Amino acid sequence: MDYVTAVPHPRTEAAATARSGRRSLAVALLCGALGAAVALLASRQRWAEGTAAVAGGAFPLTAKGSDVTGVPAALAIVGLAALVAVFAVRRSGRLLVALLLALSGAGTIAAALAGASDGGALDEKAAQASGDTAATAASLSHTGWPYVAAAGGALILLAGLLALRFGRLWPAMSGRYERSGAPRTRASRPVDPDRPEDLWKALDRGEDPTGTEPS
């Protein structure tokens, strides 16, 4: 008995590739935008709490994420810009921008996790509150917001990995305009002398429908 091997149709493969590109694009856009928003939001929340010893007793201290480290917020903005720039470049440029997007996510994760146990910002506030440069914060505790920022960085990292893997399938900005910024002009169709409407359209454009040079 003869067996016939099914050969994938080129159009079927092209359609499957297009669907894969659209799905990865949608996921990358969602992850990148959501991750940047989460990292920026978490950076504005309270990351650490403590007290400082002053003459009147214990003075409460708090430190926001931006007080602990500004890296997650800065890298979230870089990642968001890289996500937009992915569509403005092609080939090797797109690969580099996608790599920058992934590195922004990885850097956000690292900085957020490092700040999860950092007490330097509270120590500075304790020194200011007590007037003693050697003073440190007491009863130090941390919140879960640094880990929320790290989760945002993970989403940005995922967007970068998707861009590295499927970016070649994503659309780019239209090349309708030249580098000078002027739109490309379409070549005018030849005028048919047997068609009166073509003659009138040529006259409206300021052309000579007869094709003769003026004397």
Tens of pLDDT, residue by residue over 142-195, are: 999 999 999 999 999 999 999 999 888 887 765 444 344 455 555 555 555 555
For residue 137, the model assigns a pLDDT of 83
Joined tokens for residue 106? 């990885």
pTM of the model: 0.71
114 burial type by CB count under 10 A (0-12 exposed, 13-18 middle, 19+ buried)? middle
Helix (H) or strand (E) holding 103: helix 91-115
> How far, in Å, CA of 143 to CA of 44, rounded?
13
Give me the domains of the chain, ranges plus CATH numbers. 17-174 (1.20.140), 185-215 (no CATH)
- Between residues 121 and 134, the one the model is more confident about: 121
What residues contact residue 46 under an 8 Å CB cut-off, 6+ apart?
62, 63, 64, 143, 145
**What is the C-alpha separation between 56 and 154, in angstroms, rounded?**
44
